[in-house]
């Protein structure tokens, strides 16, 4: 049966949901208070951060960005390196580069004012259909629906959509769009998300307290606990390799900067060897190392889960009195694909970045990619543009449990 034809939904009272929202709306750092006008810059910033990332993870980053760059003009004028460093730990780093590019577009082409139409919003770098709809609804009160994991769950249940996610996303978006009222569409979009966060929770939804339960197809059929359906998880391949953390007499650590373009563009990492099915032997690791030194393998392994694979890294540490004059970084390339593929956090906004970022790194191994190298003081590492997995590697090498790992989500694991 076509879900949209469910008679109970033909007259879904937006008013009931809005009345509930007026009492129970969440207080979020990027959300205006009742009666205030939404700031399109804040809405856009939060929506980009919430792609693939949860509300809980985003709050700290959002506040930091807003305090450093309170307006789109200041963000557009900021060096990309600083934006990437401030983004470090949030994952999906293409978002940060697109954020910076979009800020420049808004300043240079729109005089610093965000365009108030879906058609113009969707042309901004990093803004896809779902994000443009969310910004249009929340910032400009236009009749669009904002899709995050909460809204998707509510809609899948309201319409008893049995097609598994993520295939059902387009259908859910279409169904949600059909519910948007002419008045207060922005609040309606946020009400759907808040209902999913507070009442229509993944497990044990509080259907008896739900303001739209009389219109809910899943509740009517007793299916609320099994929807939305998820596809069976595929086994992810395991890749293994070695990382090389060098520290000089002053405590500075050797990092390699990625080229600006391409995967993980502009981010930092310690030198890495190629990734394969097995760890390199101690002899092989010495060949992969960026320079000759007394490399010592640290106890433990860094494990990191990505969308399409698992990564395990053995970590080698060298303490050097003098910085070497020649550093070999040609093995750092294979980390690109893996480190860029799944740093997000399931449960956030509907993803709009490509999830499949190319072949697994084994297909790239051996391609020389000399990177810019630098020595970064240990105290500056937490503020550097290091992706989460690289932070874990350095933390294991240096036995570091401090701010380097704050926001990284997990710690390096011991075998
Ligand atoms: Fe969700 Fe239950 Fe409300 Fe349906 S009735 S929308 S399943 S909380």
**Span 169-198, pLDDT tens digits:** 999 999 998 899 988 999 999 999 999 999
Confidence tier at 225 by pLDDT (50, 70, 90): very high
Per-residue pLDDT averaged across 267-288, rounded?
A: 92
Distance (angstroms) between ligand 1 centre and the Cα of 207 equals 5
pLDDT at 251 over 50: yes
Is the minimum distance from the CB of 205 to ligand 1 under 6 angstroms? yes
Distance (angstroms) between ligand 1 centre and the Cα of 52 equals 24
Q: Judge whether 242 and 316 are in contact, CB under 8 Å.
A: yes
Tokens, residue 187: 């609040």
Give residues with Cβ within 8 angstroms of 34, minimum separation 6: 22, 25
User: What does the DSSP assignment read for 339-388?
Assistant: HHH--S-TTSBPP-S-S--SS-GGGTTT-----EEEEE-GGGGGGS---H
pLDDT digits (tens, 9 = 90+) for 133-170: 999 999 999 999 888 899 999 999 999 999 998 899 99
Confidence tier at 403 by pLDDT (50, 70, 90): low
Burial of 406 (0-12, 13-18, 19+ CB in 10 A): exposed
pLDDT at 289 over 90: yes
Q: Judge whether 152 and 172 are in contact, CB under 8 Å.
A: yes
Active site residues: 47
| CA 157 to chain CA mean position, Å | 26
Distance (angstroms) between ligand 1 centre and the Cα of 181 equals 19
Phi and psi, residue 317, nearest 5°: -120, 135
Query: Furthest-apart CA pair in the chain: how many Å?
Result: 76
Q: DSSP assignment, residue 213?
A: G
> From atom 7 of ligand 1, which residue's Cα is the shortest distance away?
224
Per-residue pLDDT averaged across 334-341, rounded?
A: 38
Residue 239: the pLDDT is 92
- Range with lowest mean pLDDT among 70-84, 232-246, 327-341: 327-341
Q: Judge whether 228 and 152 are in contact, CB under 8 Å.
A: yes
Residue 333: the pLDDT is 41
| Interaxial angle between packed helices 40-50 and 129-140, expressed in degrees from 0 to 180 and rounded to the nearest 10 | 150
pLDDT at 68 over 70: yes
pLDDT digits (tens, 9 = 90+) for 109-121: 999 999 999 999 9
Per-residue pLDDT averaged across 318-332, rounded?
A: 80
* Ligand 1 mutation pick, 155, 205, 221, 226, max ligand atoms within 8 A of CB: 205
Is the minimum distance from the CB of 289 to ligand 1 under 6 angstroms? no
- Range with lowest mean pLDDT among 15-29, 59-73, 218-232, 392-406: 392-406
Is the minimum distance from the CB of 158 to ligand 1 under 6 angstroms? yes
User: Among 10, 26, 13, which Cα is nearest to 212's?
Assistant: 13
> From atom 2 of ligand 1, which residue's Cα is the shortest distance away?
207
Confidence tier at 7 by pLDDT (50, 70, 90): very low
Residue 204: the pLDDT is 94
Question: Per the omega criterion (within 30 degrees of 0), is the bond before 228 cis?
Answer: yes
Per-residue pLDDT averaged across 280-297, rounded?
A: 94
Confidence tier at 1 by pLDDT (50, 70, 90): very low
pLDDT at 337 over 70: no
Per-residue pLDDT averaged across 341-360, rounded?
A: 34
User: What does the DSSP assignment read for 268-328?
Assistant: EE--B---BSSPPPHHHHHHHSSS-S--EEEEEEEEEE-SS-EEEEEEEEEEESS--S---
Query: Cα(415)–Cα(413) distance, rounded to whole angstroms?
Result: 7
Confidence tier at 12 by pLDDT (50, 70, 90): low
- Range with lowest mean pLDDT among 42-51, 75-84, 106-115, 326-335: 326-335
Q: Judge whether 393 and 414 are in contact, CB under 8 Å.
A: no
Per-residue pLDDT averaged across 268-281, rounded?
A: 92
Q: DSSP assignment, residue 244?
A: E
pLDDT digits (tens, 9 = 90+) for 20-53: 999 999 999 888 888 888 999 999 999 999 988 8
Strand partners, 372: 257
Mean pLDDT of the chain: 83
Residue 406: the pLDDT is 60
| CA 386 to chain CA mean position, Å | 14
> Which segments within 92-164 are labelled E, that is strand?
none
Residue 334: the pLDDT is 39
pLDDT at 203 over 90: yes
Distance (angstroms) between ligand 1 centre and the Cα of 178 equals 18
Q: Judge whether 154 and 148 are in contact, CB under 8 Å.
A: no
Distance (angstroms) between ligand 1 centre and the Cα of 221 equals 11
| CA 86 to chain CA mean position, Å | 14
Residue 308: the pLDDT is 77
Query: Cα(189)–Cα(151) distance, rounded to whole angstroms?
Result: 8
Q: Strand, helix or coil at 185?
A: helix
Give residues with Cβ within 8 angstroms of 347, minimum separation 6: 54, 149
Task: Please give the number of the atom of ligand 1 that sits closest to the Cα of 199.
Answer: 8
Between 116 and 378, whose confidence is greater? 116
pLDDT at 262 over 80: no
Tokens, residue 274: 């190629």
Report the percentage of the chain scoring pLDDT > 90: 60
Give residues with Cβ within 8 angstroms of 232, minimum separation 6: none
């Amino acid at each position: 049966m076509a879900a949209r034809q469910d008679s109970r939904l033909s007259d879904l009272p937006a008013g009931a949901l809005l009345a509930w929202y007026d009492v129970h709306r969440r207080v979020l750092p990027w959300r205006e208070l009742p009666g205030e006008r939404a700031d399109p810059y804040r809405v856009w910033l939060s929506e980009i951060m919430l792609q693939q990332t949860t509300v809980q993870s985003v709050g700290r980053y959002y506040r930091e960005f807003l305090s450093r760059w309170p307006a789109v003009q200041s963000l557009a004028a900021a060096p990309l390196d600083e934006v990437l460093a401030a983004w470090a730990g949030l994952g999906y780093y293409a978002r940060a580069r697109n954020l910076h590019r979009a800020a420049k577009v808004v300043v240079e082409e729109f005089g610093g004012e965000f365009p108030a139409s879906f058609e113009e919003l969707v042309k901004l770098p990093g803004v896809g259909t779902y994000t443009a709809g969310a910004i249009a609804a929340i910032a400009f009160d236009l009749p669009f629906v904002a899709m995050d994991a909460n809204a998707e769950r509510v809609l899948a249940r309201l319409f008893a959509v049995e097609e598994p996610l993520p295939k059902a996303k387009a259908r859910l978006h279409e169904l949600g769009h059909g519910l948007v009222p002419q008045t207060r569409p922005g609040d309606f979009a946020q009400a759907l998300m808040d209902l999913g966060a507070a009442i229509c929770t993944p497990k044990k939804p509080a259907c008896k307290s739900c303001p739209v339960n009389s219109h809910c197809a899943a509740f009517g059929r007793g299916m609320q606990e099994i929807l939305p359906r998820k596809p069976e998880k595929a086994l992810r391949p395991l890749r293994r390799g070695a990382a090389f953390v060098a520290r000089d007499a002053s405590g500075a650590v050797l990092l390699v900067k990625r080229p600006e373009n391409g995967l993980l563009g502009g981010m930092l990492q310690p030198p890495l060897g190629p990734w394969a099915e097995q760890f390199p032997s101690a002899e092989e690791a010495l060949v992969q190392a960026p320079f000759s030194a007394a490399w010592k393998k640290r106890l433990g392994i860094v494990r990191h889960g990505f969308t399409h694979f698992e990564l395990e890294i053995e970590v080698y540490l060298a303490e050097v009195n003098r910085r070497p004059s020649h550093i070999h970084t040609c093995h750092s390339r294979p980390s690109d694909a893996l480190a860029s593929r799944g740093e997000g956090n399931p449960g956030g906004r509907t993803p709009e970045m490509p999830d499949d970022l190319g072949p697994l790194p084994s297909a790239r191994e051996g391609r020389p990619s000399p990177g810019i190298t630098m020595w970064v003081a240990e105290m500056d590492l937490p503020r550097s543009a290091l992706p989460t997995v690289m932070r874990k590697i350095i933390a294991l090498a240096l036995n570091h449990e401090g701010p380097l790992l704050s926001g990284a989500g997990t710690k390096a694991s011991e075998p």
